[in-house]
Amino acid sequence: MPIAPPAKPRRGWRETLSRLAFYATRVRWRPWKNLLIRWFISHYLVDMSLALEPDPSAYPDFNAFFTRALRPDARPVDPDPDSLLCPVDGALGEFGAIRDGLLLQAKGHRYSLAQLLGGDPIHAALFRDGSFATLYLSPRDYHRVHLPDDGRLLEMIHVPGRLFSVRPRLLTRVDSLFARNERVISIFDTAHGPLAMVLVGAVMVGGIEQVWAGRVTPPRGAEPRRWSYRDGDPEIRIARGQEMGRFSMGSTVIVVAGGALDWRAALSSDQTVRMGEALAHHAAVHDPR
């Protein structure tokens, strides 16, 4: 499959809504933000007992509430160091082996690994015989993203693109959706091989942040942006289960591992998963550089 250039961002209704969402969710006028937060909790049945700050009125704006931290005991981490952790709360989409450089988007629909990773064949080669898992975050879910394995950050790429909705029912309607939407890709070296974390933007997603860089988007820009951390002093290392980033409003995370995985028994698409539980076990171990 030839590698197409990244989809150029457009200024249509999706982009306008997303820009408005960015600003509306950061308004600090108390009547507005309290009304919005309480409506959201009631509409989506959010369990505030799990939040580190359970008082809805204590959040300075809606975005702070939406990206709220959980209690330290709310999401225990699987203790087996050879297990690949679930990085988010959400619904598991497609998962499995990468075949012929393609990932499964939905039944009968595949898309290019190289395209997903920003069109770089060198990056794609790292994961040629690898595995992937797609995880969808609904509005009611916890929206911080955690690293599935101990990792050293090598590179980050912001790929501008479209802002199609990532709701599961649309995955059979938009070809190569995840490789066409805006996304932020972080590539790590781990004891189990290379690991890519792809945070996919969507309509109404007001921003994507990383703990080492702060807000990456907006601004959206028109061309890919790249940051190298290979020679960083000090190195950026993130522990297994530690927060690595967050979404302002919901979207999708795609985990791409460089080796084969033994998936947890009885794991299935559309299954509800929680951050910290094991998705799979690594089939092999290598020495990171």
pLDDT of the chain, 289 residues: tens digit per residue: 344 455 555 567 666 777 777 788 889 999 999 999 999 999 999 999 999 999 999 999 999 999 999 999 999 999 999 999 999 999 999 999 999 999 999 878 899 999 999 998 899 999 988 999 999 998 888 999 999 999 999 999 999 988 888 877 778 788 898 999 999 999 999 999 999 999 998 876 768 999 999 999 887 777 899 999 998 888 999 999 999 999 887 689 999 999 899 999 989 998 999 999 999 999 765 544 4
Which residue in 112, 176, 186, 251 is the catalytic one?
A: 251
145 with 18, same domain?
no
Can you give the pLDDT at residue 169? 73
Can you give the pLDDT at residue 146? 98
Distance in angstroms (rounded) separating the CA atoms of residues 107 and 88: 23
Asked if the structure places residue 172 within a domain, the reply is: yes
Task: Indicate if 89 belongs to the active site.
Answer: yes
112 with 151, same domain?
yes
Note down the domain range covering 137.
Answer: 83-282
Distance in angstroms (rounded) separating the CA atoms of residues 20 and 7: 22
57 with 113, same domain?
no
Task: Indicate if 100 belongs to the active site.
Answer: no
51 with 136, same domain?
no
Question: Considering its fold, how many domains does the chain have in total?
Answer: 2
Asked if the structure places residue 76 within a domain, the reply is: no
234 with 154, same domain?
yes
30 with 104, same domain?
no
Task: Indicate if 248 belongs to the active site.
Answer: no
Which residue in 146, 158, 192, 282 is the catalytic one?
A: 146
115 with 59, same domain?
no
Asked if the structure places residue 6 within a domain, the reply is: no
115 with 60, same domain?
no
Global model pTM greater than 0.85: yes
Which residue in 18, 61, 83, 89 is the catalytic one?
A: 89
Asked if the structure places residue 78 within a domain, the reply is: no
